Every structure is written in structure tokens, then in C-alpha cells.
Amino acid sequence: LLAKLHAMGLLGSRRSLVLCERLSAAAFCRRRLPCLLLKLRMAQNLRDAVTFVEQGHVRVGPDVVTDPALLVTRAMEDFITWTDASRLRRKVLDYNQERDDFDLDA
């Protein structure tokens, strides 16, 4: 149980079951995709983050996610990116001057 909760990102360590007693519903809410978009600074506020997810601008690994209630584990957290055809990705790349001229769809 402790290993699974730690892998989900709900517990900071795997020391004792006492940590499970203090586990709250807010910990689950902080692991949802829009909250992690805020943490990664991909969105300015939670409403925008939910909108980005619902409109299909965000993917986790190779899969485009449109459900803002997705719980993201620690392993999946590193694979949160913009979709390839996202206009937001294009704007970010233009702002950072990293957009490839030869990439036709971005």
C-alpha cells in the first residue's frame, strides 16, 4: 500500500502506515492533471489549465488527454507535454525562439 501511494505521488516517503492516516482528499486533487500543469508552469491558473486539457492541447506520453480528472503518477509526470499540433506549443516555441523552420505542422 505504501509503495503504491508513494508511486502515485500521494505520500512523500514509504516509512510507516501512520502517513496513510493523514492522507486527505486534497492530496488526490493535487495529483490531477490541471494542478500539475500549474506546477509545471504550463498554465497561469487552474481554469486555463482545465480548458487546455479539455480542448486537447496536452498529452501524457503518446496519448492526448481530454479528461481533466486524470490522476498523474510520479512516473507519468515527466511525460506531460503539449501536443504536436497545438497552437499553444507553437506560441511557446516562437516566444523561446526554438521553433524549427523545417517543421511544417508546428
CA dist., res. 20 & res. 37, Å (int): 26
Phi-psi region of 9 (alpha: psi -120 to 50; beta: other; left: phi over 0): left
pLDDT, average across residues 30-42: 95
User: Nearest-5° angle of CA 12, CA 14, CA 16?
Assistant: 110
- Does residue 1 or residue 100 have the better pLDDT? 1
**Do 9 and 77 touch, CB atoms closer than 8 A?**
yes
Query: pTM (2 decimals)?
Result: 0.83
Render pLDDT for 53-105 as a digit per residue (tens, 0 to 9): 999 999 999 999 999 999 999 999 999 999 988 888 888 888 888 887 776 55
Where would I find the H helices in 1-106?
A: 2-8, 18-21, 25-30, 33-39, 46-54, 74-77, 87-95
pLDDT above 70 as % of the chain? 96
Question: Residue 4 belongs to what domain range?
Answer: 1-26
Examine the domain organization and report whether 18 and 4 are in the same domain: yes
Examine the domain organization and report whether 18 and 42 are in the same domain: no
Query: Count of domains in the chain?
Result: 2
